[in-house]
Amino acid sequence: MKKGLLIFLAIIAIVLIGGCNMYKSTQNRLNAGEKDVKAKWAEVQNQYQRRADLIGNLVATVKGAAKFEKETYTETALARAGQLKQATQTSADQLTPAKMAEIEKASQQAVQATRMMINVAVEAYPNLKATQNFADLQVQLEGTENRISVARGNFNTSVQSYNTAVTNFPTSVFAGWMGFKERPEFQADAAAQSAPKVEF
């Protein structure tokens, strides 16, 4: 009888220790996944910030090279860049599909306003295209668009991996107890499906 009780207690102890180890391991994995999602979102914000800053520099270059004084297009481009800076201050914990759509909309509006201003300036000052600063900033803007695309892709990959971990059994049981939930992926709004054209 005593031997049977010891075996039973040993089995219970092994199950409890195994369960605790599984719980802690799951918690560590989900914490790491959540931190990765936050880091990837920070990179998306970083690239949006870069674009917003670059748009301001592009506007300044166009104004300087073309003696392009305060016109509606310039003010609009700067205002849109300011909206983009403000929209990208969202932390990964505050992300919702609606907030991501708002950020994408602000981003697209900033780019459209800048491109419209550039088109007007180039029509008025054809030699503007030839300035090195203007050409360099155009290349940087294009590179930034690529960086944003890569950062969004990395963010979505991280979110997908995290969401898979949160929803797979047995992790899903522990995830629910620990308060881990699925996170939304970045999805562009319908208007962003086609890139705006810039013609010089």
- What predicted TM-score, i.e. pTM, was given to this entire model? 0.60
Distance from C-alpha of 122 to C-alpha of 140, rounded to nearest angstrom: 18
Instruction: Decide which of 138 and 41 is more confident.
Output: 41
Q: What is the pLDDT of residue 154?
A: 92
Q: What is the pLDDT of residue 77?
A: 58
| Fold of the domain built from segment(s) 2-193 | de novo design (two linked rop proteins) (1.20.1440)
Q: What is the pLDDT of residue 200?
A: 44
pLDDT band at 120 (very low <50, low <70, confident <90, very high): low
